[in-house]
Amino acid sequence: MLNPKLGLSAALLEINAWSGPLLFASSSDLVLLWYLGAHALASLLLGAFVQALLPAARTRPQWATILLLAGFCYAVPIAGFVCVLAGSLLLRFYKPMPVANDFDSLQLPDFDPHLRAQGVFRQAGLRSILNNSQVPMHTRLGAMVALQYVPGRVASPLLRDVLSDPAEDIRLLAYGMLDNQEKRINRAIDEELRQLGQATTAPARLAAAQRLSDLYWELVYHRLALGDLRQYAIDESLRYCEQVLTELPASAAMYLRRGRLRHEQGDYAAAEADYHQAQALGLPATRVLPYLAEARFEQRDFAGASQLVHQLSAWNSLPRLRPIVDYWTRA
């Protein structure tokens, strides 16, 4: 609580401290002692007075604040008193200007397990909802959440499409989701490179190389790398795939991987050779024939593609390819 008597007493004592030469003109030592004692007491009283002016949050513990203020007043006579009073009044009455926040916080939409369980959004429906700015915002945000359960190869292009959306919330959420996917894979790549550098045995180096080929391929397959980065990821995945095949020439899965990578590079003849080798090493036809048919189709060998699709028609365990098989096998 503010006590004006403390301030008045401090001022009178400070004035009185300078009266020493008049009271003890015959002894300079007594003049000095009188000044120091009166000035010290005046400083303590002013510290106690000013402490009550300051905001409570700035004066804990109180005794330490009083001693700090008194010490400053004692060290700088007269000017210290003026500065302490002026500073305390400034702190008490000055209202800082509100600082504009240049960044907005985006609240992630609530997770709704029913979106996944009930299949509310289909892939075609997701595209139409996300690309339509007239759809209510909560519906579009719900569609963004549903993209978490869509394969990355499908989700990534959808997310890139909405990076230019007029709604800032949609843009920021899409960027964050893409960035998180890419960072997750890049962190895994860094860890595997470290493991490869520290590997002291051939099996450890082989396992790290295979994992690196998988991770670089994941960047390509999920379409997270574009342009030169995509070509770099293909080259790196192919390089580590070659290292694995050098040590494991009977690995059907790695031949399929190399075929997919060569397919992405447009080297269809080499890709077909790898597909055939993967099948010869025991990979099921259902794993290989779709890629062979795709390679023939992209080379505009439609008769060859049709023949391969007809071979697929004998398999009933390919529900996702059934519409394609039905189209190509119609009489």
Looking at residue 31, its pLDDT comes to 61
Q: Which residues contact 168 (CB under 8 A, 6 or more apart)?
A: 104
Domain assignment of residue 186, yes or no: no
pLDDT higher than threshold 80 for residue 169: yes
Q: What pLDDT is attached to residue 132? A: 76
Of 212, 183, 214, nearest in space to 197 by CA: 212
- Alpha-helical runs (H) found in the chain: 4-17, 20-23, 28-51, 62-75, 79-93, 113-118, 123-130, 137-146, 152-161, 168-198, 202-221, 227-247, 252-265, 268-280, 285-298, 302-312, 322-328
In a domain, 61, yes or no: yes
The total number of structural domains in the chain stands at 2
Per-residue model confidence as pLDDT tens digits over 195-248: 999 988 999 999 999 999 999 999 888 888 888 999 999 999 999 999 999 999
Q: What is the model's pLDDT at position 3?
A: 61
Q: Which amino acid is at 48?
A: A
Asked if pLDDT for residue 305 goes beyond 50, the answer is yes
Using the 3D structure, point to which of 93, 124, 153 is the last residue of a domain.
93
Q: Which of 28-32, 85-89, 125-129, 185-189 has the lowest mean pLDDT?
A: 28-32
CATH of the domain at 260: 1.25.40
How do residues 90-102 score in pLDDT, each as one tens digit?
666 666 666 666 6
**How far is Cα 47 from Cα 63, in angstroms, rounded to an integer?**
10
Q: Token pair 């051939």 is at which residue?
A: 202
Q: Considering the entire predicted model, what is its pTM?
A: 0.58
Residue 28 maps to a domain: yes
Domain containing 71 equals 4-93
Residue 166 lies in a domain: no
pLDDT band at 118 (very low <50, low <70, confident <90, very high): very low
Q: What is the pLDDT of residues 243-264, one digit of tens each?
A: 999 999 999 999 999 999 999 9
Q: Give the percent of the chain with pLDDT over 70.
A: 63
Assign 4 a pLDDT band (cuts: 50, 70, 90): low
- Tracing tokens 């399929």 back to the chain, one arrives at 256
What is the structure's pLDDT at 278?
93
Decide if 185 is inside a domain. Answer: no
Q: Does residue 89 lie within any of the structural domains?
A: yes
- Under DSSP, the state recorded for 98 is P
The tokens describing 173, both together, are: 């959420």
Tell me, what's the pLDDT at 264?
Answer: 92
In a domain, 100, yes or no: no
Question: What's residue 120's pLDDT?
Answer: 42
Residue 103 to residues 100, 106, 137, 168: CA-CA distances in angstroms? Answer: 9, 10, 20, 12
- Domain C-terminal end among 76, 93, 110: 93
What token pair was written down for 212? 């690196």
Domain finish residue from 93, 108, 124: 93
And the tokens for 327?
């189209």
More confident residue, 140 or 78: 140
Q: Dump pLDDT digits (tens) for 19-73.
A: 655 555 556 666 667 666 766 776 776 667 666 666 665 566 666 766 766 676 6
Confidence grade of residue 318 (pLDDT, cut at 50, 70, 90): low
Token pair, residue 324, equals 């394609």
Q: For residue 235, is it within any domain?
A: no
Residue 265 is predicted with a pLDDT of: 92
